[in-house]
Structure 1
């Protein structure tokens, strides 16, 4: 900023520090915060002030300026007491941009200059008569719609489908036009437009059929063993709700599922195999059809119930007798084996290492004798 006496702020590529400067017969206060700068003066100015902006690479900056002009005595007489109370500041502003003057071929846009009233740091649009006409700034101008006017294809909206039900065709108008600067177009021959001509015909499907039923997926069968029913939802999708009941799909049908017919059946536990001490109980476990009772092999193996379980009776008499022989070799020599008495238990007794007990040895002597024969070391 400088005045006619060559006094200036930020001239000759030198950036001043914020402060107060004497220009144009008044004190100009200069404030700078980063890229934001402000210069203000209460005035009045005695010589013109010049504001110059340095631009880089065609970059534009937002510049806002305000100034007041004193009224002469004749103008003050025209203002009544009611108009001067309270006093407000009226100023011209560039409020918005107008539309481009043309749609092609290079036009311009101009700012809308409006009169504003400054009230409590906010601006309110008022009638232009409140601002002085001699201070009205010229509108700012920008170039716009620089592309040349040209030939181009124009298309109309698609017509209705040729049929109301099933597959049909749709048509639309397609033509070549030349666009003028004012936006109007002139129809011309297709050969002037470049590029492929947009289609004027396409396939379509009418959705207003008399019978348009839609069915959902079937549900699971109501029974997981034997016959049952499964259901689905059937809806009429005709826009007018006109669906023929004679063509309505079924919403229920019979079904059969045998996936969970077989299950494990168990009998009662037997008596404990020993009258004293530890023993075993057994029961029958079978895979059976839960409706017909037939045997099968479709039961889940991981869920098979146990066939044996241990049982406990009162403690046995501690007096030493033939039932307390602890030496397997002595038992094999002193006991006359006539065969296994409880065949159903002997395999489990051998697996559980119970042959050392003479009570079990007597009942499963064949199995236990063979077991100890394999475990007794041979003499060299």
Structure 2
């Protein structure tokens, strides 16, 4: 309660109007620089006309409702105040006009009314700077445009910056702050290895208006007290295990096991057994599942002299026995090998044709006798031997026929 200044109306103001938003027990007050006033110094005047700041101010009071107005212009600033008496909600509306052109005289103003009027107003109140303990709230000064008895907020550039009023300041939230819990940082763990405890400071404080804090009893703070203790684990023993590289898998075909060496490097041997890395784990390798399998050698292809033996060579899975193509080609065993059965009887070949090229044209061929070996005999260039030619005459004759045809 008491006098609160609402606004300072600058000199040169015209069409001054102040109206209460609703009837109340409070009073409007006005004074100029010469200490002439209305309802000032705890003296309530009767309604009427008063001379203030070089103009006539008309004061109207109808019951609990008040209004002040003046045509102006004022020759000195007017201080508009409110004498509050326990009103829970109180508001006023005030307006005045200041000429943007100071050299403009009254006659020109009366001849032509401006289309728009721009005035500074205290449009609203900002929030309090603090929630408790005493703070301030200020008015928001806005530039308003008046047209056809309506007002709207516009950009501040439309109003004269020299006439911009200072924000009004009012104390707010002066009630004491509530008690609250304040917690400190967590301390170090009580042990360097294994499970331990760490603590922090938790106190109930009271916030003074000057910003300082004082400790008080815990019972003044509402809500549960934050825990001052919590579990922790020392990290020193969790980082002293050293493990070697994993060994190769015990099986190169299928599932197996690989191992490594894990040692405790703590000088005191205080390694946490629960954090020990594993020394063995399952593994799987299929890189050597296939291998070459060979059959028995066949009989020699010739009963006398040089001949060939063959056998079956296959790539097979070690476990399933299935055929595959993953065996190393460089390690493939030979499929053929030469054999010797002793010297042949020379009388047998007395009447044979000794020239393979001639035989290719004249020898009566009844077909290959060794169809399995004839391809190998041809590739190994053994058709020149008449003994091989007789057994693979069809393959060898085709070989020489193409040679003769090529030369011709």
TM interval, short-chain normalised: 0.3 to 0.5
Q: Whose RCO is larger (CA < 8 A, sep 6+)?
A: 2
Return the TM-score normalized by structure 2: 0.39
Q: Which has the larger radius of gyration?
A: 2
